[in-house]
Structure 1
């Protein structure tokens, strides 16, 4: 089984940024299939454009633009690339860097397909920082990475200690229907719990209010659609359930700090 060193990924590497203990790699997937292999470092894979299928010892992930995976170090996996252009952004973390921040990867074993929109939005911000020619960019990347790992640790703990059943049901419901217009009473009826209970306890498990969470889901979905050159901003706004392009633009900038056109330029360049 092939063992890949720091900065090594199958395909064409467009750009590599080496920070202290962190390596950022922008890679085009050029091989139809990559057999079982593993990497010496723990790392994130974020699909910027296209599609890829990834399999590990337990699961197979069908990844589209916007998918985020985490692999612990030396975790075996394989890749299959469907026809078309596919590009990924990778963040590798050395053992020394992880030790220096006093973080234990034992809590994040194996490979993870991350669905939390807040984590994906942090990853997009790291990608934008990597495109910034600024002396503060390394600090920005490290700060965002620490936020990302801290949130992953909290999410992992909530899984271990088991959230109420309605939390998982609501997460699945909102991820599948975020473009629909829900009322509090409708959501409560769907879950079989009281509206006061839902509104009071939502932030305890999702770390924001319901409206903020749905907006994050919409914006997170828009980021993957913006990587498709044939879609206009109006098309993206409609598919993500925004009232109009103007509303989409305001929400996008409020969450990401840049406007949608600027983001599209960064991803496609």
Structure 2
């Protein structure tokens, strides 16, 4: 890996890590990057705005004495020139980056809102669109170029819409913190009372307000995050079903298979076979 000066913004296609695959489509540069165990990324900026999707592994983001964690299926949008904190990938990993040219970005209504701050997505339409975009990237055909461009525009529109909705609904800070805790630890053993204790509210209040703002229960939200993560691992890795189930905190593989089928209407092995055949 070439050393890139920290003081200079990274040019399109430049990343700390090893490039695995790349595709340039209509002003969108898509890149799959792998990371070795113990990989450290210094603080840096990028010339272009971009989405990132964690395909495998966990990234610990460090800012001073605090740190946060990005797990498989997490999606971020970063504006151009935004300073990124240091990151450590203790077990390596794989990420998918979608860099957006300025011309394409200007096609989105309210695009100026997307030039001010980074936005995290851990579940919801943006994550589903990112997963579909990755599949198009991996399974290219004669229609892939137009499909990719359309998906990126959808992601940008949804990104702007989510930012507007988030501002308008005034989600309580403690509830946003509870959601962040879920995002960072959904593969671990979480309880409603444990989350409520961390954000200093009553469990009943947490359950009620969570459904009010996010339109589902805490348990359903966690299961959905696990299944989205499983879908990415099934399509982007060779991990066994038992390994995926254990890594996501399922008590046994049969429980994982039942839950996956309830959400996806097919088994994990069936999902993997369909992905490989397409």
TM-score using structure 1 length: 0.71
* Residue-by-residue CA offset, 1:72-91 (whole Å, 9 max, x unaligned): 10111244333333111000
Q: 1:14 aligns with which of 13, 17, 20?
A: 20
* Residue-by-residue CA offset, 1:10-53 (whole Å, 9 max, x unaligned): 22111110001101000112473232221110011111112223
Checking the alignment, whether the CA contact within 8 Å between 1:222 and 1:240 is kept in structure 2 is no
**Residue of structure 1 equivalent to 2:59:** 52
Q: Say whether residues 1:222 and 2:230 are aligned partners.
A: yes
Say if 1:145 and 1:80 are closer, same or farther in 2 by CA, change over 3 A.
same
Q: Say whether residues 1:153 and 2:160 are aligned partners.
A: yes
Q: 2:245 aligns with which of 232, 235, 245?
A: 235
Checking the alignment, whether the CA contact within 8 Å between 2:43 and 2:83 is kept in structure 1 is yes
Secondary structure class of the residue paired with 1:89: strand
Secondary structure class of the residue paired with 2:9: strand
Q: Distance in 1 between matches of 2:225 and 2:105?
A: 29
**Residue of structure 2 equivalent to 1:186:** none
Checking the alignment, whether the CA contact within 8 Å between 2:26 and 2:149 is kept in structure 1 is no
Q: Distance in 2 between matches of 1:114 and 1:83?
A: 22
Checking the alignment, whether the CA contact within 8 Å between 2:80 and 2:115 is kept in structure 1 is no
Secondary structure class of the residue paired with 1:239: coil
Counterparts of 1:120-131 in structure 2, within 5 Å, are 120-131=127-138
Number of residues paired by the alignment? Answer: 252
Q: 2:90 aligns with which of 60, 64, 83?
A: 83
CA drift at 1:166: 11
CA drift at 1:248: 1.9
Q: Distance in 2 between matches of 1:169 and 1:60?
A: 17
Q: Which runs of 5+ in 1 are unaligned?
A: 183-188
Q: 1:100 aligns with which of 88, 107, 118?
A: 107
Checking the alignment, whether the CA contact within 8 Å between 1:218 and 1:240 is kept in structure 2 is no
Say if 1:164 and 1:214 are closer, same or farther in 2 by CA, change over 3 A.
same
Q: Distance in 2 between matches of 1:192 and 1:50?
A: 29
Checking the alignment, whether the CA contact within 8 Å between 2:73 and 2:122 is kept in structure 1 is no
CA drift at 1:126: 0.7
CA drift at 1:63: 1.8
Checking the alignment, whether the CA contact within 8 Å between 1:219 and 1:240 is kept in structure 2 is no
Q: Distance in 1 between matches of 2:110 and 2:171?
A: 27
Say if 1:6 and 1:120 are closer, same or farther in 2 by CA, change over 3 A.
same
TM-score using structure 2 length: 0.69
Q: Say whether residues 1:261 and 2:275 are aligned partners.
A: no
CA drift at 1:169: 7.3
Say if 1:246 and 1:231 are closer, same or farther in 2 by CA, change over 3 A.
closer
Say if 1:81 and 1:162 are closer, same or farther in 2 by CA, change over 3 A.
same
**Residue of structure 2 equivalent to 1:109:** 116
Say if 1:154 and 1:53 are closer, same or farther in 2 by CA, change over 3 A.
same
Checking the alignment, whether the CA contact within 8 Å between 2:56 and 2:93 is kept in structure 1 is yes
Q: Distance in 1 between matches of 2:205 and 2:42?
A: 43
Q: Distance in 2 between matches of 1:43 and 1:117?
A: 18
Q: Which runs of 5+ in 2 are unaligned?
A: 1-6, 193-202
CA drift at 1:55: 4.4
Q: Say whether residues 1:2 and 2:5 are aligned partners.
A: no
